[in-house]
């Protein structure tokens, strides 16, 4: 697998990473631990060196899973994790945001133990906390970097102005936000800001939480433990309305002998050389399909065709319920 550098930093990772949330959290019941360890190790064997987790995934169990699975590959892989949520001590459920410096430092200590590593490669603020100045957040991570406990600072779903302020206090290596052919918000302000400042970009949900693979339709039913059952964009009406986007990917895929998922990922890779998508999966054949996207070449003509066809398609449904959407783009 080709490698990419995240912006101007010296952080080099595989062109496609692996989002690990769904192994423990959000997409139905947690998956079998031993199967997921096998999958994570298979990803490393196939050239994936970039793994994404967070303390809230589980909570805690996803970090523990990665700690066990990736322990044999210390020094060969890059693990990104996140801080910034307040967790109810009795239930472990999210109870708002908390990016106070003392909390960030405690999360780092706990994550290091669960991940069985000496330093966190990339430590993202999971969501911007309006109660804590971003300079204080950056300062806390700067201290952790000086202590050798963290290597790189990241932000997730932050607005351009917040990225600038954070970067002035402590250089930001990467910003992670949702980005795909059906979620293109970052193009307006975030991507130009990252290009100017030399910061890498890590799109999460690059396959539209599975929709852009072509494996869903208006009849798809989600388990009540599946996060998508609560998202406006995954109602039967929205899925039906948005099918045109999948049809477009399928058409290009047929010409390229590639799947819709591979075209969706290849499109992201073609946008900028400092973009590293992190599709998630719990299945080996999907992992291999996603990795295959790194070898799909889209010409400038292909990209123009996708762009002009996508411009005619209006995506239906908000990506998050209002309460969650309010935490993004701040």
Give tens-digit pLDDT for 266-319: 999 999 999 999 999 999 999 999 999 999 999 999 999 999 999 999 999 999
Q: What's the pLDDT band for 93 if we cut at 50, 70, 90?
A: confident
Pairing of strands 78-83, 85-87: unpaired
What pLDDT score does 190 carry? Answer: 98
What pLDDT score does 171 carry? Answer: 98
Q: Mean pLDDT throughout 80-94?
A: 91
Q: Of 57, 124, 179, 204, which residue is the catalytic one?
A: 57
Q: What's the pLDDT band for 15 if we cut at 50, 70, 90?
A: very high
Q: Mean pLDDT throughout 174-178?
A: 98
Nearest to 163 by CA among 151, 152, 175: 175
Residue 89 has pLDDT above 90, yes or no: no
Question: Which residue, chain included where needed, has tokens 């936000």?
Answer: 177
Cα distances (Å, whole numbers) of residue 263 to 207, 257, 290: 10, 10, 10
CB atoms within 10 A of CB 185: 15
What pLDDT score does 254 carry? Answer: 97
pLDDT, tens digit (0-9, with 9 covering 90-100), for 200-223 = 999 999 999 999 999 999 999 999
Residue 90 has pLDDT above 90, yes or no: no
pLDDT, tens digit (0-9, with 9 covering 90-100), for 27-85 = 999 999 999 999 999 999 999 999 999 999 999 999 999 999 999 999 999 999 999 99
- Where helices occur in the chain by DSSP H, the ranges are 33-45, 61-70, 101-115, 134-146, 160-169, 190-197, 236-241, 243-256, 260-271, 284-292, 300-311, 322-325
CATH topology of domain 3-325: TIM Barrel (3.20.20)
Question: Which residue, chain included where needed, has tokens 């999958």?
Answer: 39
Annotation marks residue 204 as catalytic: no
Helix, strand, or coil (residue 326) = coil
> What are 97's two structure tokens?
């945001």
pLDDT, tens digit (0-9, with 9 covering 90-100), for 255-269 = 999 999 999 999 999
Rounded distance between C-alpha atoms, residue 46 and residue 204, angstroms: 20
Q: What's the pLDDT band for 157 if we cut at 50, 70, 90?
A: very high
Helix, strand, or coil (residue 211) = helix
What pLDDT score does 237 carry? Answer: 96
Residue 114 has pLDDT above 90, yes or no: yes
Q: What's the pLDDT band for 92 if we cut at 50, 70, 90?
A: confident
Nearest to 49 by CA among 9, 1, 14, 2: 14
What pLDDT score does 52 carry? Answer: 99
Residue 245 has pLDDT above 90, yes or no: yes
Residue 194 has pLDDT above 90, yes or no: yes
Rounded distance between C-alpha atoms, residue 52 and residue 82, angstroms: 9
Rounded distance between C-alpha atoms, residue 103 and residue 116, angstroms: 20
Residues 6+ apart with CB under 8 A from 253: 259, 260, 262, 263
Residue 177 has pLDDT above 90, yes or no: yes
Helix, strand, or coil (residue 131) = coil
Residue 152 has pLDDT above 90, yes or no: yes
Annotated domain spans of the chain: 3-325
């Amino acid at each position: 697998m080709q490698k990419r550098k995240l912006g101007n930093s010296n952080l080099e990772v595989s062109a496609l990473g692996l989002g690990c949330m769904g192994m423990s959290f959000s997409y139905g019941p947690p998956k079998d631990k031993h199967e997921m360890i096998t999958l994570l190790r298979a990803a490393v064997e196939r050239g994936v060196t970039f793994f994404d987790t967070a303390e809230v995934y589980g909570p805690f169990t996803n970090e523990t899973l990665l700690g066990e699975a990736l322990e044999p590959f210390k020094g060969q892989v890059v693990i990104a994790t996140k801080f910034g949520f307040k967790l109810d001590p009795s239930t472990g459920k999210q109870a708002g945001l908390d990016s106070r410096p003392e909390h960030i430092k405690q999360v780092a200590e706990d994550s290091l133990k669960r991940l069985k590593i000496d330093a966190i490669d990339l430590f993202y603020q999971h969501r911007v906390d309006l109660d804590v100045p971003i300079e204080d957040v950056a300062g806390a991570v700067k201290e952790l970097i000086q202590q050798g406990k963290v290597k790189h600072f990241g932000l997730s779903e932050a607005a351009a102005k917040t990225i600038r302020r954070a970067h002035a206090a402590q250089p930001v290596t990467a910003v992670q936000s949702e980005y795909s052919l059906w979620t293109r918000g970052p193009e307006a302000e975030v991507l130009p800001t990252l290009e100017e400042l030399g910061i890498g970009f890590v799109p999460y949900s690059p396959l539209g939480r599975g929709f852009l693979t072509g494996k869903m339709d208006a009849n798809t039913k989600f388990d009540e433990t599946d996060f998508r059952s609560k998202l406006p964009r995954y109602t039967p009406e929205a899925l039906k309305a948005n099918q045109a986007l999948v049809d477009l990917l399928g058409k290009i895929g047929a010409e390229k002998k590639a799947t819709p998922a591979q075209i969706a990922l290849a499109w992201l890779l073609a946008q900028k050389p400092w973009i590293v998508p992190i599709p998630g999966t719990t299945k080996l054949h999907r992992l291999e399909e996603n990795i295959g996207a790194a070898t799909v070449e889209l010409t400038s003509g292909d990209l123009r065709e996708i762009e002009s066809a996508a411009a005619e398609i209006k995506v239906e449904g908000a990506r998050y319920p209002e309460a969650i959407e309010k935490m993004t783009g701040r």
